[in-house]
Structure 1
Amino acid sequence: MAEKKPRILQNNKDMAWSLIPLLLACLVIAAIAGQCSLRVGGPEAGQVPRIDLGASLQADADALDFPIRRPEVPAEWIPNSASRPAVTGADAVASTVGFVTPAGSYLGLTQSDAGEEELLRFRADGARTDGQGVESTAGTEWVVYRGEDTEPFWIADLGESRALITGSGSQDEFLTLASAVASAPVLDPR
Structure 2
Amino acid sequence: MSYQKPRSQNDYKDLIWSLAPLVLICLVIAGIASQCSFSTGGPKQGQIPNFDAKAALTDDARLMPFPIRLPALPNDGDDKWTPNSGSHFTITGTGGGDVSTVGYITPQGTYMQLSQSNATADAMAKKYAPTPKATGTQQHGDHMWSVYAEQGSESAWIADFGDVRVLIKGAGNGDAFDTLATAVVRAQPLPRG
* TM-score of the pair, normalised by structure 1: 0.80
Equivalent residue, structure 1, for 2:67: 67
Letter in 2 for 1:57: L
Letter in 2 for 1:155: I
Equivalent residue, structure 1, for 2:38: 38
Tell me the percent identity. 43
Q: Deviations over 1:62-94 (max 9, x none)?
A: 332211111111111111121223325343121
Letter in 2 for 1:72: A
- Cα distance in 1 for partners of 2:152, 2:169 equals 13
User: Residues 146, 39 of structure 1: CA spacing in aligned structure 2 closer, same or farther, 3 A cutoff?
Assistant: closer
Equivalent residue, structure 1, for 2:116: 111
Q: CA deviation at 1:35?
A: 1.8
Q: 1:156 aligns with which of 146, 156, 159?
A: 159
- Cα distance in 2 for partners of 1:129, 1:148 equals 14
Q: 1:121 aligns with which of 110, 126, 132?
A: 126
Structure 1's unaligned 5+ residue stretches are: none
Q: Deviations over 1:73-128 (max 9, x none)?
A: 11111111212233253431211112122122332111000111111111115x34
RMSD: 2.8
- Cα distance in 1 for partners of 2:8, 2:126 equals 65
Secondary structure of the residue aligned to 2:134 is strand
Bigger drift between 171-180 and 115-124 goes to 171-180
- Cα distance in 2 for partners of 1:99, 1:185 equals 19
Equivalent residue, structure 2, for 1:175: 178
Between the two proteins, the alignment pairs up a number of residues equal to 187
